[in-house]
A = this chain, B = another copy of it.
Amino acid sequence: MFIYQKKLQYPVKVAKPNPKLASIIISQYGGPDGELGASLRYLSQRYSMPFDELKGLLTDIGTEELGHLEMVGALVHQLTRNMSDSQIQDSAFAPYFVDHTAGVYPTAASGFPWNAASMAVKGDPITDLTEDLAAEQKARTTYDNILRLSDDPDVNDVIKFLRQREIVHFQRFGEAIQLLREKLDQRNVYRMNPAIDM
């Protein structure tokens, strides 16, 4: 179970409303490679992951990503507080506004609501960890792109923190897959599925 601690993992303090930027950043809330998918992917994969260290790793990172989801939500919220009418009517934001006002909804920047089709739980430990390596790179690229689109230093400071965490997670999943391969009789990796055969 989860306990909520009333503080963000890293502080979010945005001074200026900017709904246009919010409509881009929302992609790390509910887009294809955002924090919702990250968190849910790892927290779901752990059930069929063998070995306590690996299960624990998925739980740790999955829980941290829940905190990142919260931080991205805080960014979107602060960028859409106290908007002027002309900002609301800006054609970059109005399609979001009409259905969600200034609420935080899990959608991609493209307007596609989050869909579990963008993540995989294959129930095979090698495969699931390789999926996770890809997930971290995809999130890292999205943060790179946000940095190209934003010039708000309050926002960018947070985005850089989140981007750095993805790189760390990528490295930890790399080590995990190494550990898994050592634990398995490597020649048999493709002959059996340790999640159901051990």
Contact = CB atoms under 8 A, between A and B. Distances in A.
A138 B149 contact: no
B122 A48 contact: no
A1 B100 contact: no
Contacts of A140: 127, 190
A163 to B, nearest CB: 8
A93 to B, nearest CB: 9
Interface string A40-80: 10011101100000000001100100110110011011000
Contacts of A5: 1-3
Interface residues of A, number: 94
Interface of A: 1-9, 20, 23-24, 27, 30-33, 36, 40, 43-45, 47-48, 59-60, 63, 66-67, 69-70, 73-74, 76-77, 83, 85, 88-92, 94-118, 120-124, 126-128, 130-131, 133-134, 137-138, 140-142, 144-146, 148-149, 167, 190, 193, 195-196
11 contacts: A83-B196, A85-B148, A97-B149, A99-B108, A101-B123, A111-B111, A113-B117, A123-B141, A127-B141, A130-B134, A140-B190
Given A99-B145, A107-B110, A117-B118, 11 more contacts: A1-B5, A4-B59, A24-B98, A44-B104, A44-B105, A99-B122, A100-B121, A101-B141, A110-B111, A131-B137, A140-B190
